[in-house]
């Protein structure tokens, strides 16, 4: 890449960091427990709105994984999410009523918090409906992974978004608080993903899965991106550009091997398609606070009204990470 | 008991202390070297934790840096202290703070007693080691390395290049031959004493100070000078990955480690509570005579290295996205592409599926949709038949399909009416078997009840596309196995080529063909081709069909043209 190209990327990164700095005033701290953060703690950052019912399982899942502290931005919830989070001993909570869309879909807020509190830590950025699965996650805590990444001089760990869906109509099995959502949304597409490499940012742009085949079959270019790099050894100079799909400096996006080998990677099980989704999509259609003017939500609610079953006879039922490894959706790399 | 342990520690001192206590409690003296970069507070904590262990000593501290002399100096100080403070010790075992004993020390003692006067130290000449990183083996000893590789990589590399270019070499001291090996050795008191009290030690130390990674060569080389009997292997199970950093053991390796019968393993993740709890509470059982068997663990780690360096053929995913020509296999398995067969034979896909016992697809790249076997709308891996999804990244559709059905032999039809985008990818793929009957696209036109003008235009278009496709298949970069027959030749004698194709898909033990696919009725086809010619369009790819309707055109005994 030319010097000018590199400089342009640098400007983009600095602009993104400046945006985060400007938006810091939108955040009001409700509970600051960041002093409890230990030196080697893995930190989880998340933005959410009205996710009260999902929170107990979400927190449990990541506590069991070994997350040291949760830093959460709550965006205008009115369902008790805020009150619930305030009571959690390992959660630092910020709140804002500002526009989700104008903060780059939460990216600016989290970039700011990561800069303030994430420097030198491994940081995991996930939504409340995303569940990280990494090699050996059933026997090794996340500190084992981050220690290994440190020893291997790796700064970023990719985990592709894997859309999970139930069998049958989406609202047939209502989600109960505290329940593992993967019990309901247990199915996924194993082998219909397309990959393109973006030469500017070096990231791989992955699309496909049930959303592409069910909602974007006539316009696949607009199907949502599934590549994600949620786990990063954060430095205050870094910035997420678009959700957790792309980072700068761009070397952080280079999480794949180009000479035939496999680097280690995980998956984010995306438990979006529960019965709660129908209410959400109705609400989001009017709020228009999501990516590309809530186009996804529009496509979903149209699609879900007509054919409510994403399941097909070729769908795979989720068992464990080893299954995802065999299917080629993630890899152990040289971690053994 | 006369076995003493040296421990080099720099992190996770609590774990190191735990292991030191374990050894001391089993009656083995321990000398601990703690890196001088570790803070006083942490060191004090460790000393306090080992307060009650009489046979634990702390060696003078050095600042240790990877790949430098400091590690040898640390080991020397610890060894000197061990020999001086514990005159009963007859063997010394070099270990690190992340080592873990897998068997009771008594078993190790018995095992060593059965092998008197033997030094266990991996010690291999530079010419014979396969594991050196960075291409430096003998040059470790003949060049000078004043710059730390970890901190000043650029200077390190430049300095090596410069010395190579200027042929700057220094002599290896008289009387030693460079050997390399693991730094986790177990030496007899006599050998260790001889190394440390060698009258030429000053000279050797000065020399090794500027050897690269001397901790892998100092004792390994000098042991050769003094030992009575060397067994060139390490008693510590320690495996390195392709970048030369040690593999780490976790709780889920417990059974593997237990069954390995090795004495000491390295390196253990400090958070592996299960491993520490299990192995440090082992009671000395029946006298263990078992030989260490690191084979299974070797296999596990070499599989990991293979996965990291070669990966799985035909897989494209978030952490494996090979550049062109670096795929180690563009696709996951062999597959066959048939061009012109469905046109010439009735119900060819069903027939072939029966003959080879597999699913056979129709035209996967047809303009309307992907024609999966059995007319399915979705296929393995939830692959959709939507033409738009398929044509978004056409080669990904193919690599996905083959990956998803990699336990079978995928077969599909292709032709000039299809999306031609994947043709180049397929042609360059050694897994592809392409069989082409040229000009077969004319058969459906001949049987269609379409206005002749339209047929003529279509024929011209299809012939042009197919001619370009055949040109592509003749390129020198084509790696697929390609066979091409003109329609006239194939129609005249189809049995032999079809048998060849079947043999290739199911190589072993297939009975001879009993049932041939049924050819469509070609009566009047010669006349049809002539009509096209008369209209100014020469269907030359179909070959020479006789004009008159003899039942079968005279078989010209021409063999299939093999493009490669």
Record: contact A333-B308, CB cut-off 8 A:
yes
pLDDT in tens, B194-242: 999 999 999 999 989 888 888 888 999 999 999 889 999 899 988 888 7
Given a contact cutoff of 8 angstroms between Cβ atoms, the answer to whether B374 and B471 are in contact is no
CA-based radius of gyration for chain B: 36
User: Cα–Cα distances in Å, from B193 out to B88, B188, B236?
Assistant: 13, 8, 22
The whole-number average pLDDT for the span B334-338 is: 94
- Closest-CA residue of B relative to A311 is B382
> Residue A160 contacts by C-beta under 8 Å, 6 or more apart in sequence?
A193, A206, A226, A227, A228, A265, A267, A268, A329, A330, B317, B318
pLDDT in tens, A241-270: 988 899 989 999 999 999 999 999 999 999
Q: Is B497 exposed, middle or buried (0-12, 13-18, 19+ CB in 10 A)?
A: middle
* pLDDT at residue A297 is higher than 80: no
Residue numbers in A near B307 (CB within 8 A): 261-262, 331-334
* pLDDT at residue B64 is higher than 60: yes
Given a contact cutoff of 8 angstroms between Cβ atoms, the answer to whether B91 and B189 are in contact is yes
Q: What is the ipTM of this complex?
A: 0.92
pLDDT in tens, B448-494: 888 888 888 999 999 999 999 999 999 999 999 999 999 989 988 88
pLDDT of residue B512: 61
Confidence bin at B564 (pLDDT 50/70/90): very low
Residue B488: phi, psi to the nearest 5? -60, -45
The whole-number average pLDDT for the span B144-159 is: 82
The whole-number average pLDDT for the span A74-84 is: 91
Burial B370-394 (b: 16+ CB within 10 A, else e): bbbbeebebbbbbbbbbbebbbbbb
* pLDDT at residue B98 is higher than 70: yes
Confidence bin at A76 (pLDDT 50/70/90): confident
A45 Cα to chain B: minimum distance (Å)? 23
The whole-number average pLDDT for the span B303-325 is: 92
Could you write out the three-class secondary structure of B425-472? HHHCCCCEEEEEEECCCHHHHHHCCCCHHHHHHHHHHHHHHHHHHHHH
User: Cα–Cα distances in Å, from A87 out to A52, A73, A84, A314, B426?
Assistant: 13, 15, 6, 43, 59
From the CB of residue B80, how many other CB atoms can be counted at a distance below 10 Å? 17
From the CB of residue B262, how many other CB atoms can be counted at a distance below 10 Å? 23
pLDDT of residue A127: 94
pLDDT in tens, B277-291: 999 987 766 555 688
Q: Return the DSSP state at A300.
A: H
> Residue B407 contacts by C-beta under 8 Å, 6 or more apart in sequence?
B333
pLDDT of residue B561: 46
Record: contact A333-B392, CB cut-off 8 A:
no
Confidence bin at B153 (pLDDT 50/70/90): confident
The whole-number average pLDDT for the span B404-410 is: 92
pLDDT of residue B54: 86
Nearest to B485 by CA among B543, B539, B545: B543
Record: contact B271-A262, CB cut-off 8 A:
no
Write the residue in A213, A261, A336 that is nearest to B320 by C-beta. Answer: A261
Record: contact B315-A263, CB cut-off 8 A:
no
pLDDT of residue B133: 55
Higher model confidence: residue B68 or residue A54? A54
Write the residue in A194, A206, A262 that is nearest to B311 by C-beta. Answer: A262
Record: contact A136-B250, CB cut-off 8 A:
yes
Q: Work out the angle between the directed axes of helices A276-287 and A291-306 (0-180°, nearest 10).
A: 140
Record: contact B308-A262, CB cut-off 8 A:
yes
Write the residue in A213, A258, A329 that is nearest to B317 by C-beta. Answer: A329
pLDDT in tens, A99-118: 888 888 889 999 999 999 99
Q: Return the DSSP state at B560.
A: P
CA angle A44–A49–A51, rounded 5-degree value? 80
Q: How far is CA B71 from the centre of its chain?
A: 32
- Going by their DSSP bridges, the two strands B91-96 and B186-188 should be labelled as antiparallel
pLDDT in tens, A181-239: 999 999 999 999 999 999 889 999 999 999 888 888 888 998 899 999 999 999 999 99
Q: What are the structure tokens assigned to A223, written together?
A: 């199907």
Q: What are the structure tokens assigned to B121, written together?
A: 């130290």
Residue numbers in B near A312 (CB within 8 A): 378, 382
Q: What are the structure tokens assigned to A300, written together?
A: 């979903």
The whole-number average pLDDT for the span B173-194 is: 90
Interface test with chain B among A259, A303, A307, by most B beta carbons within 10 Å: A259
Confidence bin at B555 (pLDDT 50/70/90): very low
Q: What is the three-class DSSP state of B34? A: strand
pLDDT of residue A43: 96
Interface test with chain A among B11, B15, B332, B382, by most A beta carbons within 10 Å: B382
**Mean pLDDT value across chain B:** 87
A86 Cα to chain B: minimum distance (Å)? 31
pLDDT of residue A296: 64
Nearest to B102 by CA among B309, B259, B229: B259
* pLDDT at residue B507 is higher than 80: no
Write the residue in A217, A219, A257 that is nearest to B320 by C-beta. Answer: A257
Nearest to B71 by CA among B97, B48, B45: B97
pLDDT of residue B102: 92
Confidence bin at B410 (pLDDT 50/70/90): very high
pLDDT in tens, B254-274: 999 988 889 999 999 999 999
pLDDT in tens, A11-68: 999 999 999 898 888 889 998 999 999 999 999 999 999 899 999 999 999 999 999 9
Confidence bin at B293 (pLDDT 50/70/90): confident
Q: How many CA atoms lie within 13 A of B87 on its CB side?
A: 0
Residue numbers in A near B300 (CB within 8 A): 336
- Going by their DSSP bridges, the two strands A193-197 and A204-208 should be labelled as antiparallel
Domain residue spans of chain A: 3-326
pLDDT of residue A276: 84
Beta bridge partners of residue B8, listed in sequence order: B33, B96
Nearest to B497 by CA among B544, B558, B414, B440: B558
Burial B501-526 (b: 16+ CB within 10 A, else e): bbeebeeeeeeeeeeebeebebeebb
Given a contact cutoff of 8 angstroms between Cβ atoms, the answer to whether B126 and B178 are in contact is yes
* pLDDT at residue A273 is higher than 80: yes
Given a contact cutoff of 8 angstroms between Cβ atoms, the answer to whether B405 and B457 are in contact is no
* pLDDT at residue B324 is higher than 70: yes
Q: How far apart are CA B142 and CA B145, in angstroms?
A: 10
């Amino acid at each position: 890449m030319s010097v000018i190209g590199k400089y342009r990327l640098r400007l983009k990164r600095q602009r993104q960091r400046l945006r985060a700095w400007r938006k810091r005033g939108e955040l009001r701290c409700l509970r600051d427990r960041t002093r409890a953060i230990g030196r080697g703690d893995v930190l989880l950052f998340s933005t959410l709105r009205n996710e009260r019912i999902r929170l107990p399982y979400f927190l449990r899942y990541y506590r069991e994984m070994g997350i040291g502290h949760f830093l959460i931005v709550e965006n205008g919830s009115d369902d008790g999410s805020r009150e619930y989070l305030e009571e959690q001993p390992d959660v630092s909570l910020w709140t804002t009523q500002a526009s989700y869309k104008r903060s780059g879909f939460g990216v600016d807020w989290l970039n700011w918090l990561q800069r303030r509190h994430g420097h030198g830590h491994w940081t995991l950025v996930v939504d409340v409906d995303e569940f990280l699965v990494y090699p050996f996650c059933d026997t090794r805590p996340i500190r084992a992974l981050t220690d290994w990444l440190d020893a291997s001089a790796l700064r970023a760990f990719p985990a592709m978004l894997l859309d999970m869906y139930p069998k049958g109509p989406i609202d047939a099995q209502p989600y109960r608080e505290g329940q593992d959502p993967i019990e309901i949304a247990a199915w996924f597409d194993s082998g219909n993903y397309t990959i393109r490499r973006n030469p500017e940012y070096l990231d791989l742009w992955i699309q496909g899965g049930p959303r592409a085949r069910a909602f974007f079959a006539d316009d696949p270019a607009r199907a949502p991106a599934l590549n994600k790099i949620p786990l990063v050894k954060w430095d205050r100079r870094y910035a997420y550009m678009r959700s957790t799909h792309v980072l700068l400096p761009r070397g952080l996006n280079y999480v794949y091997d180009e000479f035939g080998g496999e680097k280690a990677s995980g998956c984010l099980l995306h438990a979006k398609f529960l019965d709660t989704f129908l209410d959400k999509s109705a609400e989001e259609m009017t709020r228009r606070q999501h990516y590309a003017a809530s186009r996804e939500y529009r496509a979903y609610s149209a699609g879900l009204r007509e054919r409510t079953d994403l399941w097909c006879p070729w769908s795979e039922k989720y068992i464990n990470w080893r299954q995802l490894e065999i299917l080629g959706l993630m890899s152990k790399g040289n971690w053994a | 008991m006369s076995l003493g342990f040296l421990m080099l520690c720099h992190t996770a001192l609590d774990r190191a202390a735990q292991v030191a206590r374990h050894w001391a409690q089993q009656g083995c003296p321990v000398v601990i070297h703690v890196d001088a970069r570790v803070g006083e507070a942490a060191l004090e904590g460790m000393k306090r934790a080992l307060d009650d262990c009489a046979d634990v000593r702390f060696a003078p501290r050095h600042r240790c840096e990877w790949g430098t002399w400091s590690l040898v100096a640390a080991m020397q100080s610890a060894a000197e202290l061990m020999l001086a403070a514990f005159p009963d010790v007859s063997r010394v075992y070099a270990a690190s703070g992340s080592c873990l004993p897998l068997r009771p020390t008594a078993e190790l003692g018995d095992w060593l007693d059965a092998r008197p006067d033997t030094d266990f130290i991996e010690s291999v000449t530079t010419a014979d080691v396969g594991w050196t990183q960075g291409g430096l083996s003998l040059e470790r000893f003949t060049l000078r390395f004043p710059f730390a590789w970890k901190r000043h990589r650029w200077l390190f590399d430049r300095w090596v290049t410069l010395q190579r270019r200027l042929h700057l070499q220094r002599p290896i001291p008289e009387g030693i031959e460079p050997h390399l090996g693991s730094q986790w050795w177990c030496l007899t008191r006599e050998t260790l004493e001889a190394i440390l009290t060698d009258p030429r030690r000053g000279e050797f130390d000065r020399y090794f100070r500027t050897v690269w990674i001397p901790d892998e060569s100092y004792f390994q080389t000098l042991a050769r000078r003094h030992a009575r009997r060397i067994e060139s292997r390490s008693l510590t199970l320690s495996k390195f990955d392709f970048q030369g950093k040690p593999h780490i053991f976790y709780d889920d390796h417990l059974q593997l480690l237990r069954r390995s019968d090795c004495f000491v393993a390295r390196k253990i993740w400090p958070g592996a509570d299960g491993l520490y709890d299990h192995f440090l509470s082992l009671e000395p059982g029946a006298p263990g005579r078992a030989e260490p068997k690191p084979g299974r663990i070797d296999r596990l780690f070499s599989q990991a290295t293979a996965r990291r360096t070669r990966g799985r053929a035909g897989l494209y995913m978030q952490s494996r996205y090979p550049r062109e020509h670096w795929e180690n296999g563009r696709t996951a398995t062999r597959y066959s592409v048939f061009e012109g067969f469905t046109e010439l034979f009735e119900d060819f896909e069903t027939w072939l599926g029966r003959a080879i016992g597999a699913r056979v697809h129709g035209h996967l790249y047809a303009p309307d949709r992907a024609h999966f076997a059995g007319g399915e709308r979705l296929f393995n891996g939830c692959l959709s038949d939507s033409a738009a999804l398929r044509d978004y990244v056409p080669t990904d559709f193919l690599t996905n399909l083959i990956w998803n059905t990699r336990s079978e032999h995928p077969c599909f039809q292709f032709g000039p009416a299809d999306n031609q985008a994947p043709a180049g990818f397929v042609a360059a793929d050694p897994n592809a078997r392409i069989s082409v009957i040229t000009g077969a696209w004319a058969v459906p036109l001949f049987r269609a009840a379409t206005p002749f003008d339209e047929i003529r235009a279509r024929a011209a278009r299809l012939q042009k596309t197919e001619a370009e496709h055949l040109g592509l298949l003749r390129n020198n970069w084509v790696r697929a196995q390609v066979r091409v027959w003109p329609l006239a030749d194939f129609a005249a004698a189809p049995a032999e080529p079809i048998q060849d194709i079947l043999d290739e898909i199911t190589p072993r033990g297939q009975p001879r063909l009993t049932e041939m696919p049924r050819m469509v009725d070609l009566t009047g086809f010669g006349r049809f081709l002539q009509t096209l010619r008369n209209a100014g369009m020469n269907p030359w790819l179909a070959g020479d069909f006789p004009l008159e309707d003899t039942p079968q055109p005279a078989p010209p005994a021409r063999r299939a043209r093999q493009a490669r």
